[in-house]
Amino acid sequence: MLTDPTRLPEAYAAAVYVKDVAAFTALYAPDVRIFDTWGGWQQRGLEALHASTAEWFGSLGEERVVVTVSDVQHSVGDTLAAIHGLIEFKAVSASGEKLRAMQERVTWLLEKQGEGWRVMHQHSSLPADFETGKVMK
């Protein structure tokens, strides 16, 4: 849980880099709904997020993922906050060598819950070519 919702990109990146499933899922509300660009298109609830995150982190072996969020914009109210930007996932070897990378657009909606903030909705997207319908990377 975050005390400042604008720190979400930093907390997200840190949890991904160290592959900490508990720290990652702690950023999300129990009833989170995620629209993703991969696999099943959407996930509902913390249990589904925990399972997919554990699978993702486990699949990395000794690799790490460096997450960078750029062009970040946010709007914070008393109980709701919105953050959006461009997010890059860069896989690096144990020695720090870049292996591959991809970029998406991301929007997070956060809700104040008690003393902190949690993501209640996340939406990731990739632009598609109008003529071919294929995702542009």
What fold characterizes domain 5-125? Nuclear Transport Factor 2; Chain: A, (3.10.450)
Compute φ and ψ for 34, nearest 5 degrees.
Answer: -120, 125
Residue closest to 8 by CA, chosen among 55, 51, 72, 53: 72
**Lowest-confidence segment of 77-86, 98-107, 128-137 by average pLDDT:** 128-137
pLDDT at 137: 63
Q: Are 79 and 110 in contact (CB under 8 A)?
A: no
pLDDT tens readout for residues 26-57: 999 999 999 987 766 789 999 999 999 999 99
**pTM of the entire structure?**
0.92
Question: Mean of the pLDDT values across residues 11-37?
Answer: 96
